[in-house]
Structure 1
Amino acid sequence: MTTPEHQSPSPQPPVPASKDRIYRSPAGIAGGVLLLALVLWLGIDAVVAGEGRTPWVALAAMLFLVPLICAYTVRPAVFAGDDRLRVRNPFRVIVLPWGQIASLRSGYSNEVVTESGAKYQLWSIPVSLRARKKAARQEARRTANDGRGRGRRGAFGGLSGGGAAAATTEGPVRAETDKVMDELRDLLEARAKAETSQGEVTVRWAYEVAGPAVVGAVLLAVLLAVG
């Protein structure tokens, strides 16, 4: 019996690709579902019980409104992977390799800015000024409590509880969407120089959303103009 001198190494299992982090707006989705339910309820009722041109007007209105509601509420999402950021806005899908992103800005809206200067709004990560003010108030209260805790420690040589100590170890209180932007900035800083994070920015228009809405708008306009 012969023994092979060299054995080929057993094939290694493929390394699974890491899943994208997905950021969506729960409030936007909830509002969109409610609006869709209302439009479909009223529209179907008009189609079933309406007379004359009413069913056709209802169908045209649903064909116009349903894609728009989905586009602005349910559809928007941001997918953050190891190599690129994919932004799904109401009528466009923008794929941005991390190496092409210059910054992620937060003002009255959250935006991604490319090296060429192009700006794209992140529809699924809306800015809430109310949430920011609430977080600022909580941070102010926490800072005040932390200051009083240090004062008691200086007076008595110790703390009666761990509340103040825990507060000093935590980061500042931030609004939820601001935390998301911080996560994206950390990912940008970590992956911008990677070889697999280079490439070109691509933009694709969502004709599957815009097409039905345009057709519905035209039909609705014609039916209303005919009278």
Structure 2
Amino acid sequence: MRVDARKNYDRLLAVAGEVFADEGADASLRDIARRAGVGLGTLYRHFPTREALLETLLRASFEALAERAKVLESSDSADEALVAWMQETTEFTYRQRGIIALMMGAIEDTNSALHDSCVMLRAAGTALLTRAQAEGKARDDLSGAELFDLIAALAWLREQPSHAARADHLFTLIADAILTDSSGAHSGAGSEPGTTAPTETVPPPAG
């Protein structure tokens, strides 16, 4: 990549990260190009679609969540590992304002730039779910695709001002419904509706 092209590429990523953080994933690409000081055609040469731009921005975070799942797979408690990853992935998805609909579409669209990252996340969650099911700690009639859907739904609830206050309680109810052991250990020691146990923070998107 030429020096000037690289400069435009890096500038577009930096500006897009700021704009998406402020306005959400449906922010104007024309406005991003304008703020970066380049033409819209330059933006599209580097990032042919909105999904391509978002995938580049979020790739490190997607990979970190997948790696986190691998670490949790070796933990002692399969049920706690599953719920911890659900919490972290729900929080990550919620923080990327407006990306939920794009992810839900991308996972079914092999032509989407976000498709591979979404499939990677679904596979990571499926591995944790399968382990918990094999140990008799999660219900057998739940699939990895359905787990992905539940995470998206919980993240969507957090985006809605009129529902956000109930999101943590609903997360606990969903976790209780998924797990076959209702001892309460999975929801965090001493946690109550409206609170969540501390989880490891996923690195913020690059740019």
TM-score under structure 2 normalisation?
0.24
Larger Rg: 1
More strand by share: 1
More helix by share: 2
TM-score under structure 1 normalisation?
0.23
